[in-house]
A = this chain, B = another copy of it.
């Protein structure tokens, strides 16, 4: 790098020289360790001294004693060189796909509960990967994926487009949750019209994204009497248990809560409502180890 204004002068290799001289006590020994000649080091230091306009060390007999300026530079060397070395190691790990950050985007509320079960084991296997979960996307999950705001999208609605892959990683059944003792609680399944006088509780998202409407109520041309929205699963199920309404959630999620709350799950329609969770990622990232391993691990996680 040719310097015009004489500003940048201290280079990494100057610091390497200073450190080696301190460690080995002489230019000659430092030169050997750096696989260079003593002359090369001498020239390099002399040039640095000219640019800094101050000696870095003083010859005392055949010893070198660092000047105040030299000590400063030595301190700089001992602080900065390890950082260079550490960064080189990290970048090499990134290059090999062993390290990085995985930004996961979520498009469905209960997906979050599922994700938590995958993230735990994943962090064990990939201690050098940071996982970051995001939930709000200005241009939707696909937009976030294309815009590189996230690397992985968790969604129940794969939207196939060139450049992205979707993999199905989890099959489950969406069920209706009712309080124990509800008039429907002992039925095997429920039909839309049976809910015409009920209050339905959902997460606060657009109706088009709620399968309970698009796949259950609307095809039967009926709706529930009231529709309330609640942010959190816990409160939602507390409300259901208290008889304030019914809700549609994954069966595995309901089963977990049913241990502590008086609630029951019912099939939605005679055949039930099967659903899947998909993971989407950019095709270009297919070869990134820590990403494809996440997808693989996600597929393997099973539920007892």
Does residue A123 face the partner (Cβ distance < 8 Å to B)? no
Question: Which of A90-98, A205-213, A214-222 makes up part of the contact surface?
Answer: A90-98
Of B65, B68, B80, B90, which contacts A80 at CB under 8 A? B80
A94 and B11 within 8 A (CB): no
Q: Give the distance in Å from the alpha carbon of A166 to the alpha carbon of B87 in the complex.
A: 32
B10 and A100 within 8 A (CB): no
Contacting residues, chain B, for A80 (C-beta < 8 A): 80, 83-84
In the complex, the count of this chain's copies comes to 2
Q: Shortest Cβ distance from A290 into chain B, in angstroms?
A: 11
Q: Shortest Cβ distance from A53 into chain B, in angstroms?
A: 5
Of B4, B53, B65, which contacts A35 at CB under 8 A? B4
Does residue A159 face the partner (Cβ distance < 8 Å to B)? no
For window 1-39 of A, CB contacts with B under 8 Å fall at 1-2, 4-5, 7-13, 16, 34-36
Contacting residues, chain B, for A135 (C-beta < 8 A): none
B2 and A8 within 8 A (CB): no
Q: Shortest Cβ distance from A39 into chain B, in angstroms?
A: 13
Of B35, B69, B148, which contacts A94 at CB under 8 A? B69
Q: Give the distance in Å from the alpha carbon of A95 to the alpha carbon of B51 in the complex.
A: 11
A1 and B87 within 8 A (CB): no
Question: Which of A71-79, A137-145, A235-243, A254-262 makes up part of the contact surface?
Answer: A71-79
Does residue A88 face the partner (Cβ distance < 8 Å to B)? yes
For window 90-112 of A, CB contacts with B under 8 Å fall at 90-92, 94-95, 100-101
Per DSSP, chain A at the interface is helix
CB nearest to A52 among chain B residues: B91
Known: A10-B84, A11-B12. A91 touches B69 (CB 8 A): yes
Contacting residues, chain B, for A101 (C-beta < 8 A): 68
Q: Give the distance in Å from the alpha carbon of A83 to the alpha carbon of B2 in the complex.
A: 21
A95 and B69 within 8 A (CB): yes
Does residue A229 face the partner (Cβ distance < 8 Å to B)? no
A91 and B72 within 8 A (CB): yes
Does residue A292 face the partner (Cβ distance < 8 Å to B)? no
Q: Shortest Cβ distance from A149 into chain B, in angstroms?
A: 11
Contacting residues, chain B, for A36 (C-beta < 8 A): 1-2
CB nearest to A44 among chain B residues: B1
Q: A76-B87, A79-B148 are in contact. List 20 more A-B contacts (CB 8 A).
A: A1-B13, A1-B16, A2-B35, A7-B85, A8-B84, A11-B11, A12-B12, A52-B88, A52-B92, A53-B92, A54-B91, A65-B148, A67-B94, A69-B91, A69-B94, A72-B90, A72-B91, A73-B91, A76-B84, A80-B83
The 8 A-B residue pairs with the shortest CB-CB distance, nearest first, are A54-B95, A1-B13, A4-B35, A69-B94, A76-B87, A69-B91, A53-B95, A68-B100
Please list 17 pairs of residues, one from A and one from B, whose beta carbons are closer than 8 Å in the complex, sorted by A's number: A1-B13, A4-B35, A7-B88, A8-B88, A10-B87, A11-B12, A52-B95, A53-B95, A54-B94, A54-B95, A67-B94, A68-B94, A68-B100, A69-B94, A72-B87, A73-B87, A79-B148
